[in-house]
Amino acid sequence: MDVISLRNISISFDGEPVLKSISLNIRDKEFITLLGPSGCGKTTTLRIIGGFTKPDRGDVFFDGQRINGLPPYKRHVNTVFQRYALFPHLNVFENIAFGLRITKTPEKVVRQKVGEMLSLVNLSGFEKRQSGALSGGQQQRVAIARALINKPRVLLLDEPLGALDLKLRKEMQGELKNIQKRSGITFIYVTHDQEEALTMSDTVVVMNAGEILQVGTPEDIYNEPRNAFVADFIGESNIIPGVMPADFAVDFCGGRFECVDKGFEKDEPVDIVLRPEDLTLIEAGNARIHGVVRSVTFKGVHYEIIIEGMGCMWTVHSTDYAAVGTEAGLEFEPFDIHIMHKS
């Protein structure tokens, strides 16, 4: 059951197309993430769902009903804004209670519900604080509580963790995922952090320049990127041009390699993706791909080693060390080779 459907949504600002006929179905109760580089139209997509921006063309459906003309205050959708937008004249309690005050909820119920929300976002005891006197992470959590208290069908979150440090960010990611599961609210989450998208989402939507490039589960997107852009954006990748001479075979770097892909046209030019962590360092002597180590960077768990050879720069993630300037070889399995149509 789709709670929200976007159909052929287009919009331009000052003659610049920002969304180019995008269509997207969002299932009820799922955690879906819009992922893409800055300026690709993520916020604009959220604003169209929230009702703040009218698309030039296309339709928005909510539970199968067309809601193009419905103002934001009549939509069962709440938003955690990119910059929180807390009310500066209200304290934490009243910021969170805002939605309930609008519906003239009895004071007793307001107290109880705001109390629940405060403990949900770990801010009990902060009721009387003015919103200006909170840290970024605390404002963040007030914004989430304020948007959740109305029990919306859909919650829109626009890079909600953008301002937080890494540790708090990780904590809040888990926190949000829990809230989503427990509340059964559909989350539409925006981020340009691929790791965040992969760890939290049921569905990832990769966008670029106003277009949706791929929709799928995190595993799908990571393992079967549809084109070189997705592959590159989703994780560091080695992207090499090649040709498919036949099913289960691919030519690149002057050699023919066995692979698991089929269904391409004969001699179709393709992009080959090899993940850095799928490459294994071996002796240069008996390797089909080999080159000279150009740099080694310690990354905590592994080394990031850049090897130049066979006309390419290869990025390798390995727990083995290789000294700069030495010869090294690379090895990989047929299923490590991901083949994509040229886009």
Partner 1 sequence: MNKARSAAFPYILWSVLFTVLPLLLVAYFAFTNGSGTFTLDNFANLGEYTAVFVRSLLLALISTLLCFMIGYPLAYILSRESARRQQIMIMLVMLPMWMNFLLRTYAWLTILENNGLINRLLEFLGFAPLHMINTQGAVVLGMVYNYLPYMILPIYTVLIKLDYRLIEAAHDLGANPAKTFFRVVVPLSMPGVSSGITMVFMPAVSTFIISKMLGGGSSLMVGDLIEMQFLGNAYDPNLGAAISLVMMVIILISMLLMGFFDSEDKAVIM
Ligand X SMILES: Nc1ncnc2c1ncn2[C@@H]1O[C@H](COP(=O)(O)OP(=O)(O)OP(=O)(O)O)[C@@H](O)[C@H]1O
List interacting residues with ligand X (CB under 6 A): 13-14, 18, 36, 38-44, 192
69 binds partner 1 (CB under 8 A): no
Determine the Cα–Cα distance for residues 152 and 62; give it in Å rounded to an integer: 12
In contact, 43 and 158? CB cutoff 8 Å = yes
* 326 CB-near residues (< 8 Å, 6+ apart): 292, 293
Q: Within 49-108, which residues bind Mg ion (CB under 5 A)?
A: none
For residue 79, the partner it binds in ligand X, Mg ion, partner 1, none, with Cβ less than 5 to 8 A by kind, is partner 1
Per CB under 5 A, the list member of 43, 45, 91, 238 interacting with Mg ion is: 43
Measure CA 62 to chain center: 23
CB 127 to partner 1: min, Å = 11
Q: Kindly state the tokens that stand for 152.
A: 């919306």
In contact, 188 and 46? CB cutoff 8 Å = yes
Per CB under 8 A, the list member of 28, 30, 59, 94 interacting with partner 1 is: 94
Nearest to 291 by CA among 277, 268, 309, 264: 309
In contact, 94 and 52? CB cutoff 8 Å = no
Piece of 21-29, 92-100, 192-200, 225-233 that binds partner 1 (CB under 8 A): 92-100
Nearer to ligand X, 14 or 265 (CB): 14
Q: Are strands 249-252 and 77-80 parallel, antiparallel or unpaired?
A: unpaired
**Torsion angles phi and psi, residue 288, rounded to 5:** -80, -30
Per CB under 8 A, the list member of 17, 21, 58, 98 interacting with partner 1 is: 98
Nearer to Mg ion, 43 or 238 (CB): 43
For residue 269, the partner it binds in ligand X, Mg ion, partner 1, none, with Cβ less than 5 to 8 A by kind, is none
Q: Kindly state the tokens that stand for 335.
A: 């299923």
Determine the Cα–Cα distance for residues 65 and 126; give it in Å rounded to an integer: 40
276 binds partner 1 (CB under 8 A): no
Piece of 55-63, 80-88, 172-180, 295-303 that binds partner 1 (CB under 8 A): 80-88
Footprint of partner 1 on this chain (CB under 8 A)? 50-52, 71-73, 77-79, 81, 83, 85-91, 94, 98-99, 101-103, 146-147, 150
Q: Where on the chain is the footprint of Mg ion (CB under 5 A)?
A: 43
